[in-house]
Amino acid sequence: MKDEGSARAATGERSLRIAIIGAGMAGILSAIKLDAAGLHDYVVYEKADRVGGTWRENTYPGVACDVPSHLYSYSFAPNPDWSHLYSPGAEIQAYFEDVTQRYHVDERVRFATEITRAEFSGGCWQLHGVNGLREQADVIIAATGVLHHPSIPAIDGLDTFAGACFHSARWDHRAALDGCRVGVIGTGSTGVQIVSALADRVAKLTLFQRTAQWIAPQENPAYSSAEQEAFRRDPELMRSMHREMSRAMREAFANVVVDASSPQMQQLEAACRANLENNVHDPVLREKLRPNYRAACKRLVISPDFYTAIQKPSAELVTEDIERVEAGGVRTRDGRLHALDVLVFATGFRVDRFMRPMQVIGRGGLRLDDVWVQRPVAYLSISIPGFPNLFMLNGPNGPVGNFSLIEVAELQIAYILQLIEQLRRGRCREISASEPATAQFDAERVEQAKRTVWATGCRSWYLDDRGIPAVWPWTFDRFRDEMAAPKPEAYETVG
């Protein structure tokens, strides 16, 4: 009887060694789907000591996902035990750890193994990593994520602060909070969640606001034990809920924000305005919290209790510009010193990094840093011309702004597996998006992006160096259609 390798040789199939970089949501998914496709020769390289990605790294008080939990789950691994409609970060991290163990992905992860350089040479990828690691791979799946390089603004005197000072994604759990004076810089989803979680714990909470945020009204009910038991008895209830939540998110939000003039967009804005008007009682505070741009131009913040928290006696909203940080706190341009014991930066991430700082060198010595010197660009957010057999999940210009990233990643990995199948069957030895296809895609994307609500006059992390939204500007249906099958004419193949 022929062994597996001989059987592949007889059919012309190649044995492919695959490197998955990153063991967050997308890396775990990639490993599971490779196994299901019969591609068992893979390794997951993870720079940290646990899986989980952003949910491993973000442990700040109040951390939660702004996508409903039954939708922010793998479609093949529903979870009956979510505690809330929007569950806290610790539950999400536990979910990914559980899935990793159930599907034996943990056995394939090399922890504390950061890949520092990947170079395409001799028809394969040469991988270099910490502790002298040198290995080869035929294919790379980059599941390195988007929100993992903290961004901290340059503020004069920051190094003089006498108290605990840290970014929200590097939370210092040794820092005392109860009964202390805590300052938070940043008013995105993270800042809002921290304020809601700490307003009743601290002696004084000072929120430094550069830009007001629209807050979408959304309650966060708990699932009862009876509901959880029903989910356990009948998994179809969870699958049905997943489908319904996906449909509702597409129709009420995802497909709405890509058309700034739609009636549904106006309804969403009206709901946000009513939330502010009905729940903030002090007219002065209300106007400080009122944005001067359209709702959802920035990533819409979802919170059931931020307006309540910011009106508590312990909380203060500061809209004066920050002049500098001093040993005792933050001084604003009106000369006032805001005395603090703890200073937290909820200031987001460097979202243009993707695989970097890893050095990536493609065909003929082509350096990713040179290709992306102006801004990151990729065909369908997956493939880069000149970088064969390198595929990204949640890469540049993908649907990070308005869909569930798990849904996105599941569609992307199915698409990537079709490209890998061409390599496995020997139809080619190298495959990457062509320059013309990538240029055409990007030109169409830029024009469409101008019609979205993200381009209506605000500053946000969605915008690139030109002020163009750098996210998927079409509907979810179009994304799903694009991911159904690769277009052969969009790819360059060798061999």
Mark out the alpha helices in 132-224 (DSSP H runs): 189-198
More confidently predicted of 4 and 274:
274
Tokens encoding 122: 């001799």
Side-chain half-sphere of 405: how many Cα atoms within 13 Å? 21
CATH code of domain 11-149+350-494: 3.50.50.60
409/398 Cα distance (integer angstroms): 10
Residue 400: strand, helix, or coil: coil
pTM summary value: 0.95
167/267 Cα distance (integer angstroms): 35
Do the Cβ atoms of 343 and 202 come closer than 8 Å?
no
Q: What is the pLDDT of residues 443-489, one digit of tens each?
A: 999 999 999 999 999 999 899 999 999 999 999 999 999 999 999 99
Look at residues 408, 372, 451 and name the one whose alpha carbon lies nearest to residue 145.
408
216/15 Cα distance (integer angstroms): 50
Percent share of the chain, pLDDT over 90 = 90
- Which residues, at least 6 apart from 143, have a Cβ–Cβ distance to it below 8 Å? 20, 21, 22, 23, 24, 26, 27, 29, 30, 392, 393, 394
94/52 Cα distance (integer angstroms): 9
Q: How confident is the model at residue 146 (pLDDT cuts 50, 70, 90)?
A: confident
Measured CA angle at 486 (ends 243, 144), to 5 deg: 70
Mark out the alpha helices in 46-166 (DSSP H runs): 54-57, 89-102
Do the Cβ atoms of 53 and 25 come closer than 8 Å?
yes
Tokens encoding 187: 């008013």
Do the Cβ atoms of 50 and 57 come closer than 8 Å?
no
Instruction: Examine the pLDDT at 8 and tell me if it is beyond 60.
Output: no
The predicted model gives 211-231 an average pLDDT of: 95
466/374 Cα distance (integer angstroms): 10
Instruction: Examine the pLDDT at 6 and tell me if it is beyond 80.
Output: no
User: In the chain, which residues fall in CATH 3.50.50.60?
Assistant: 11-149+350-494, 158-214+258-345
Q: What is the pLDDT of residues 436-449, one digit of tens each?
A: 999 999 999 999 99
Instruction: Tell how far CA 314 is from the center of its chain.
Output: 32
- Which residues, at least 6 apart from 46, have a Cβ–Cβ distance to it below 8 Å? 22, 23, 27, 109, 110, 111, 112, 113
Tokens encoding 258: 């890509």
Q: What are phi and psi of 469, to 5 degrees?
A: -55, 130
Tokens encoding 289: 């919290």
Instruction: Examine the pLDDT at 38 and tell me if it is beyond 60.
Output: yes
Instruction: Examine the pLDDT at 350 and tell me if it is beyond 50.
Output: yes
**Topology annotation, domain 158-214+258-345:** FAD/NAD(P)-binding domain (3.50.50)
Look at residues 429, 409, 421, 427 and name the one whose alpha carbon lies nearest to residue 483.
409
Q: How confident is the model at residue 131 (pLDDT cuts 50, 70, 90)?
A: confident
When the pLDDT of each residue in the chain is averaged and rounded to a whole number, the result is: 95
pLDDT of residue 148: 80
Q: How confident is the model at residue 1 (pLDDT cuts 50, 70, 90)?
A: very low
Instruction: Examine the pLDDT at 11 and tell me if it is beyond 60.
Output: no
Which amino acid belongs to residue 64? A
The predicted model gives 380-398 an average pLDDT of: 96
Do the Cβ atoms of 64 and 110 come closer than 8 Å?
no
Percent share of the chain, pLDDT over 70 = 98
pLDDT of residue 315: 98
Q: What is the pLDDT of residues 47-98, one digit of tens each?
A: 999 999 999 999 999 999 999 999 999 999 999 999 999 999 999 999 999 9
Residue 243: strand, helix, or coil: helix
